[in-house]
Amino acid sequence: MDGIIAILGFWLCILTLIVRKPIMKMIEQKQMTGGDAAKFEERCQKLEKCVSDVSGELIRVAKELDEIRNSSDFSYKLLLQQQANLVAASTKAQAEKNSAAIAAGGNEEPLLLTTTAPQPEDFGKLTNEHTIRFERVLASSKEQVWKHFTESNLVGEWLAEGKIETQFGGEVSLNFAPGRNPSGAEGSGRVTGLVSRAEEGKSLCLSWNDESNGITSLLSIDFSEEGDKTKVVLTHSRLPQDRIHHFMACWHTFLDTLSAKLRNITPPDFNKRFREVIQVYLILVATVLAANPALAESASNTYKIVTSEKARLMTKYDNLWREVDSKQREMDALKRNNPPDANKELDYLDKQLKDKYRDIKEIEFEIKDLDAAVR
């Protein structure tokens, strides 16, 4: 019974995380006033309380499961099987969208979930305490997909600038843009390695060494035909527990970008998609590790993972405020000196400031969720 409670809590937590932030964003866009705004604010507060209550209950049950070892194996298997339940969560979120539109009194329904939203079947799995696995069916031939994993100009379009030499002992050198390093560093990052297996159109295996973060791991990709499409199975192993959720969120976002490019559609914004899925993976990893003794030494891993993610967010939060201060100083200098085209430059800086403040607000929401999880 405790295992079932933990599972239900996990999926309820995911549903509330999916729904809460778009509702808050809709309030800002519609700029509701009076009774409508009050009702909507009350609704969001209830939803936020639900996140806090479920998170606390989730951690409590996970700790109990760690003590009741004879039920943990069942709980873990059931948790992995519940990936399919995200479909039901999407349906519920769509119903929430419709009721939200009615409550707002608007004619245009707020768009919470669309075809560009994270898809249930695309979420990765945690196969053991150091290994993650993604299965994607990509809308392109096996030859084209292989090229996107191995040719430098194509790899740079969705993953990172650099090269992967496709022969035994071939060199791997990837330079990740700031904020896109799977190891979790806020700045840019460089990954090096050697190719240990390369069968064209079939499989690719390479070492993944991020020396600046002290992470040495192994990446394996298998390719197979599914009609006129290609199934890709990506396995990343030997990952540190406190970073595994970050690797999962990054690979999810990278694969979403690749999928969009192969379909000739605009890929999702990397930072936005990353923020959409990182909370899901954080809860998934923390719950699995805490609920199954075979995957972790103790339930304290839940606390370690959550606090590690909070530390990363706090660093990003501080950096954003420093950027805000810098932009504000630039605006003050422009106002004092009043050079030609000052108004145009001020408008540009003002837009940048608004974007920074929006990012700060989103991080504040995420930090609040994490604080609720470790109470």
What pLDDT sits at residue 335?
86
State in words which class domain 121-277 has: alpha beta
- What is the number of other CB atoms lying within 10 angstroms of the CB of residue 304? 15
Phi and psi, residue 187, nearest 5°: -85, -165
205 or 120: which leads in pLDDT? 205
Q: What is the pLDDT of residues 292-314, one digit of tens each?
A: 655 544 445 555 666 677 777 77
Task: Output the pLDDT for position 367.
Answer: 73
Q: Highest mean pLDDT: which of 5-14, 126-135, 286-295?
A: 126-135
Q: Which residue has the higher pLDDT, 82 or 25?
A: 25
Sign of CA dihedral 289, 291, 294, 296: positive
DSSP string, 15-74: HHHHHHHHHHHHHHHHT--HHHHHHHHHHHHHHHHHHHHHHHHHHHHHHHHHH-HHHHHH
Compute the distance between CA of residue 279 and CA of residue 329 in angstroms, rounded to an integer: 34
> From CA 52, how far away is CA 45, in angstroms rounded?
11
In whole numbers, what is the pLDDT of the chain averaged over residues?
A: 75
pLDDT band at 317 (very low <50, low <70, confident <90, very high): confident
Residue-level pLDDT at 67: 47
Least confident interval from 117-121, 131-135, 294-298, 331-335: 294-298
For residue 6, the model assigns a pLDDT of 52
Residue 364 has pLDDT above 70, yes or no: yes
Q: Is the pLDDT of residue 248 over 50?
A: yes
Q: Among 207-216, 296-305, 322-331, which stretch is predicted with the lowest mean pLDDT?
A: 296-305
Averaged pLDDT for residues 306-334: 81
pLDDT of residue 230: 97
Give pLDDT tens digits for 183-193. Answer: 876 666 899 99
Higher per-residue pLDDT: 296 or 165: 165
Q: What is the pLDDT of residue 191?
A: 94
CA–CA dist 155, 96 (Å, integer): 39
CA distance 42 to 255: 37
pLDDT digits (tens, 9 = 90+) for 83-96: 445 434 544 554 55
- 82, 49 contact by CB (below 8 A): no
What is the per-residue pLDDT across 257-266, written as a single tens digit (0 to 9) for each? 999 999 999 8
284, 263 Cβ separation under 8 angstroms: no
pLDDT of residue 72: 42
pLDDT average, residue stretch 323-331: 87
Query: Sheet holding 229-237: strands in order across?
Result: 125-128, 131-138, 229-237, 215-226, 203-210, 189-199, 171-176, 161-164
Q: Do 204 and 198 meet the contact criterion of CB atoms below 8 Å apart? A: yes
Predicted local distance difference test score (pLDDT) of residue 113:
34
Segment 12-23, tens digit of pLDDT: 555 555 555 555
Q: Which residues pair with 132 in a beta bridge?
A: 126, 236
pLDDT the model gives residue 107: 43
Hey, which of 36-45, 84-93, 175-184 has the most confident mean pLDDT? 175-184
In the chain, pLDDT over 90 holds for what percent of residues? 28
What integer pLDDT is reported at residue 217 of this predicted model? 93
Contact call for residues 75 and 292 (beta carbons, < 8 A): yes
Q: How far apart are the first and last CA of the chain?
A: 23
The pLDDT value recorded for residue 81 is 46
172 confidence band (pLDDT: 50, 70, 90)? very high
**pLDDT-based confidence at residue 207 (cuts at 50, 70, 90):** very high
Asked if residue 135 has pLDDT above 90, the reply is: yes
Residue 231 pLDDT: 96
Confidence of residue 158 (pLDDT cuts 50, 70, 90): very high
Q: What is residue 132's predicted lDDT score, i.e. its pLDDT? A: 94
Q: At what angle do helices 142-150 and 244-262 cross, to 10 degrees?
A: 130
Give 244 or 185, the one with higher predicted confidence.
244
- 113 compared with 276, residue with greater pLDDT: 276
Longest Cα–Cα distance of the chain, Å, equals 74
